[in-house]
A and B are shown apart, each in its own frame.
Chain A
């Protein structure tokens, strides 16, 4: 009886113990960059005519062009998402001006990785609030931003 009990105990310990292989096994990790297209908000606020016009324009662009073309914008948030944010934070006129400014900054490819802080996704971090808060806000280029 003693032998059986000891055997059962030993077997159960071995059966439920964490093996070295499991403990030190290779972790599954993906190096794919997170795609922000999945987080897109297509909703429109019908009470706000400016939002309806701007959001309809952006939704059509996202659905017909951006989703097919792929996730190519070097910035986070992308230029179209920046447009939506900047209009929400300011107004249609200021927002449009800042969007065209962002668009021309997007075209400026020389040395931009030394000028903008980095987002955790690997893109350049350039959100609307940096340009819309009462006084513009400076984030050093060496910083990596962890927020969404």
Chain B
């Protein structure tokens, strides 16, 4: 009797058991992972699913998943393979350009030559021209893709690119030659400029005072040290102007990237997880 009972229980367990590894269940699980922002595992599950079924949405979500986990090289490969017939083809093109932006491969974005470039693609191409070393096109040709409310900001970026507010290393050096420390003041290094002025003045005074009081040796020592401080300040001011210019470039690129992020790279939000 007990054996029959055990057999019934075991066989009923098997008859009601569920296979979690069917492609449909894997897709359901992957959808859950994707919406939980566990993109890496979602991609792995989707990869298993597409071994059995061809699905455009899943292919796009795999590419998007790679992009979300910042594996942009893999994302680029997946986005470029989205078929023209897919509903996500236009989004895939934009996502491709976005991934290329993150890879800082601006030249391939600018050379992105496909028929019928869409407005948002033109915007991303324009933004990558701002970030690259390429020459800018005509102002009107550049800004026409952007809506009126964005044009002021885009024109600011455009003007900055044409005429960046650089400081001249030569001028900084000349300033410091005339008045020690003034080259640093010119490059916005206020504290360092004033320190150099005081330091050079102090050493010069010590040298002068020692010569005046017939302490010739000490006078020469201070004069020698002062000469090094003076020359070092001139050279340092020129280098400081170079660093200032690097900072201008860095902050400009950061501002463009913040602008792009604020506008979600001109990509509409997806509704995969309602």
Residues of A bordering B, CB below 8 Å: 94, 96-105, 107-112, 115, 130-131, 135-138, 140
Contacts and interface: CB of A to CB of B under 8 A. Distances in A.
Given A130-B243, A135-B242, A138-B243, A104 B235 contact: no
A109 to B, nearest CB: 8
A98 B232 CA distance: 6
B199 interface: yes
Interface of B: 189, 191-192, 194-196, 199, 228-229, 231-236, 239, 242-243, 245-247, 249-250
B247 A138 contact: yes
A97 B246 contact: no
Nearest to B249: A138
Given A111-B191, A131-B239, A104 B246 contact: no
Contacts, number: 70
Contacts of B196: 104, 108
B239 A98 contact: yes
B235 A101 contact: yes
Contacts of B231: 97, 100
26 contacts: A94-B235, A96-B228, A98-B235, A100-B231, A100-B232, A101-B235, A101-B236, A101-B239, A104-B229, A105-B195, A105-B236, A107-B195, A107-B199, A108-B191, A108-B192, A111-B191, A112-B191, A130-B243, A131-B243, A135-B246, A136-B239, A136-B245, A136-B246, A137-B243, A138-B243, A138-B247
A interface: dominant SS: helix
- Between A101, A108, A111, A136, the greatest number of chain B beta carbons within 10 A of the residue's beta carbon is seen for A101
Contacts of A99: 232
Contact of A110 (B191, B236, B250): B191
Contacts of A112: 191
B242 A136 contact: yes
B246 A138 contact: yes
A27 B138 CA distance: 63
Contacts of B249: 138
A72 to B, nearest CB: 18
Given A97-B232, A98-B232, A104 B239 contact: no
Given A112-B191, A136-B243, A137-B246, 13 more contacts: A97-B228, A97-B232, A98-B232, A100-B228, A100-B229, A100-B232, A101-B236, A104-B195, A105-B195, A107-B195, A108-B196, A110-B191, A138-B246
Contacts of A97: 228, 231-232, 234-236
B250 A140 contact: yes
